[in-house]
Amino acid sequence: MFYENSEGEQISKLRKNKTVFLLINTSGMVGKSIDLDLSDSDFNFEYNGELLENDQLLGLEVTADTMKVELITKKQN
């Protein structure tokens, strides 16, 4: 897993209040659900308009072997 910006470039450092894309590579998981721990000491993440509790993205349905998940970074309080 790694993050990309909207231009498809890999991101090495996250910044607050930015849209990023988490790239997830799986094999043979299409149709199954996965849980992702996105814990980061500096940022929280928003997914589909909801702040992820404890940076956990739970029950994400795998729709392809390679997926891009849109997130927004939020500064931790």
Three-class SS state of 50 = strand
Is residue 43 within 8 A of residue 74, CB to CB? The reply is yes
Q: Domains of the chain: which residue ranges? A: 2-75
* Structure confidence at residue 65 (pLDDT): 96
pLDDT band at 1 (very low <50, low <70, confident <90, very high): confident
Closest CA to 34 of 1, 72, 71, 3: 1
Predicted TM-score of the model (pTM): 0.87
- Reading the block at residue 56, the tokens are 């956990």
Predicted pLDDT of residue 66: 95
Residue 77: pLDDT over 90: no
For the stretch 8-64, pLDDT in tens is 999 989 999 999 999 999 999 999 999 999 987 788 999 999 999 989 999 999 999
